[in-house]
Structure 1
Amino acid sequence: NGQEDEYRDLVESFVRWSRENLLQLNVTKTKEMVVDFRKSKSPPSPVCISGKEVELVPSYRFLGVQLDNKLEWSTNTDAVYKKAMSGLYFLRRLRSFSVCSRMLHMFYQSVMASTIFFAAVCWGAGIKAKDANRLNKRIKKAGSVVGCKLANLDEVVRDRMVLKLRTIMDSPSHPLHNTVDKLRSSFSNRLLQPRCSKE
Structure 2
Amino acid sequence: MNFLAHLYLSKNNPNIMIGNFIADHIKGNNYEGFSKEIQQGIFLHRAIDTYTDAHALVRKSKRRLHKRYGHYGGVIIDIFYDYFLAKNWAKYSEIPFDVFTDAVNKMFSEASDGLPIKSQEFIQYMIAYNLLFNYQFEDGIEKVLNGMNQRTKGKSKMNLAIEDLKELNKEFEEDFMLFFEDLRNFSDQKLKEIKKTL
Larger relative helix fraction = 2
TM-score (norm 2): 0.27
- Greater share of residues in strand: 1
> RCO (CA 8 Å, sep 6+): is it higher in 1 or 2?
2
The higher radius of gyration belongs to 1
TM-score, length-normalised on structure 1? 0.27
